[in-house]
Amino acid sequence: MKIKKIIIPIICSMMFSGCWDNVEIDKKTFVSVIGVDVSKDINNEDVIKKLKPDDPFQETDIKRIQVTYGFPDLSQLGPNKQGTAKDKYLLSESSTMQDSLSKASVKTSRDIFLGQTKLLILSSRIMEKKEIVKEIIDYLQRNPRVNKAMYVALSEDRAEDIIKFKPITENNIETYISGIMENSKRNSTVLPVTLNELLILLDTNNNAIIPTVKLDKDKNEISMSGTSIIKDYTLKGKLTSVETSDIEMIRGKIIGGKKVIYKDGKPIEFVIEKGDRKLNISKQGDKLKIDVKVKLEGQIEQYYLTPNLMNVATINDLQTDFDKSLSDECNETAKLIQNQYKVDPMELRENVEKYHPKIWNQVKDNWEEAFKSADINVDVKTYIRRIGSAE
């Protein structure tokens, strides 16, 4: 009897309840890419500060940011059609991200849906405005309808121009850039970062690294190369593609890419297939001592040597050359990060906090200075497992 009293209300609730705010799929605009640029009032801080809280019509006059929403043209999709659809665009200028969405919504007869967005592009100019960046990050973090798994990139050009660019191999830019990031295992110069990872990094370390996208107007092409360094919600600098690859090695996350040395004036290409790292962290006096042991495995694919390449001694000599070259390269990159940018994209802080609690308790209140003065030594060991075809 008691079971019936419980089951009947459950069945009734299942039969008579529904999605009260449901919108039919053909009434939605599925945003696939978002770009954020500066707008005309971005530098009018003095005018904005003079506004009083009770002044009327404030939001209609202030245009600090421009948000570009790209979405696929659903008319190009169907059972007899293949590939991805080309994008259409909605542009909105306002003071905040939420206001931009509200203003964009009156330009379309459909409900704007952000749950399937693939890519967020921030312009480098917007990164010059710390308070606005913090507002954008706060909006993205708090909005439950925003897809936290979307990739994030920083543009040296206007985000609008990047979004509207048509790649040769794809119908839209988000498919092109997302594909590059997803295939980053074949190119260690691109470090994919999702929105969720960015939010965690900024919340934990107050700094982050974001892949950089650039539009070459002369060649009419888009390229991804290097990494932008974000510290305290501000763009601090950029790492080259080589330095980006070095960071991946130091982090022990490199699973692809290549490194080249020259021997007797000829290039020798080492293709990385797997990487790993081990850390030895101690405290000597007032300084941290961090020894990074990097292990790389791969194969030689291009070389201009004699047939004696299969000789064990020759292979050992090549490994020694790569060891020296890559160790010096990684140490120089680590010093650059320490001295010039004073950020920790190598995930050393997380390791100290997690595995060395005694040391962490001594440096946690002044981690930035402890990191800057730390004695970091990177030692790379390469292992040539296979030899490719000679040319």
The answer to whether residues 223 and 357 belong to one domain is no
Last residue of a domain, one of 182, 204, 239: 239
Last residue of a domain, one of 182, 207, 239: 239
Q: How many CB atoms lie within 10 A of CB 157?
A: 19
What is the mean pLDDT of each successive set of 10 residues along the chain, which is 391 residues long?
A: 64 58 69 95 72 64 90 69 76 92 90 93 94 95 94 94 89 88 74 93 87 86 88 92 92 87 86 93 93 95 64 89 96 94 89 94 92 95 80 43
The answer to whether residues 101 and 183 belong to one domain is yes
- pLDDT of 180: 86
Does residue 377 lie within any of the structural domains?
Answer: yes
The answer to whether residues 196 and 312 belong to one domain is no
Does residue 15 lie within any of the structural domains?
Answer: no
The answer to whether residues 96 and 221 belong to one domain is yes
Q: pLDDT, tens digit, for every residue of 310-322? A: 688 888 999 999 9
Does residue 145 lie within any of the structural domains?
Answer: yes
Does residue 10 lie within any of the structural domains?
Answer: no
Question: Domain of 295?
Answer: 245-387
- pLDDT of 390: 42
The answer to whether residues 356 and 322 belong to one domain is yes
Q: What is the 3-state secondary structure (H, E, C) of the chain?
A: CHHHHHHHHHHHHHHHCCCCCCCCHHHEEECCEEEEEECCCCCCHHHHHHCCCCCCCCCCCCCCEEEEEEEECHHHCCCCCCCCCCEEEEEEEECCHHHHHHHHHCCCCCEEECCCCCEEEEECCHHHCHHHHHHHHHHHHHCCCCCCCCEEEEECCCHHHHHHCCCCCCCCHHHHHHHHHHCHHHCCCCCCCEHHHHHHHHHHCCEEEEEEEEEECCCCEEEEEEEEEEECCEEEEEECHHHHHHHHHHHCCCCCCEEEEEECCEEEEEEEEEEEEEEEEEEECCEEEEEEEEEEEEEEEECCCCHHHHCHHHHHHHHHHHHHHHHHHHHHHHHHHHHHHCCCCCCHHHHHHHHCHHHHHHHHHHHHHHHHHCEEEEEEEEEEEEECCCC
The answer to whether residues 162 and 144 belong to one domain is yes
- pLDDT of 14: 61
Does residue 140 lie within any of the structural domains?
Answer: yes
The answer to whether residues 178 and 234 belong to one domain is yes
Does residue 86 lie within any of the structural domains?
Answer: yes
pTM metric for this prediction: 0.85
The answer to whether residues 151 and 273 belong to one domain is no
- pLDDT of 222: 87
The answer to whether residues 44 and 186 belong to one domain is yes
The answer to whether residues 66 and 124 belong to one domain is yes
The answer to whether residues 363 and 279 belong to one domain is yes
- pLDDT of 219: 79
Does residue 1 lie within any of the structural domains?
Answer: no
- pLDDT of 44: 75
- pLDDT of 386: 86
The answer to whether residues 173 and 34 belong to one domain is yes
Does residue 180 lie within any of the structural domains?
Answer: yes
Last residue of a domain, one of 204, 239, 274: 239
What domain count does the chain have?
2
Q: Which CATH number fits the domain that encloses residue 250?
A: 3.30.300.210
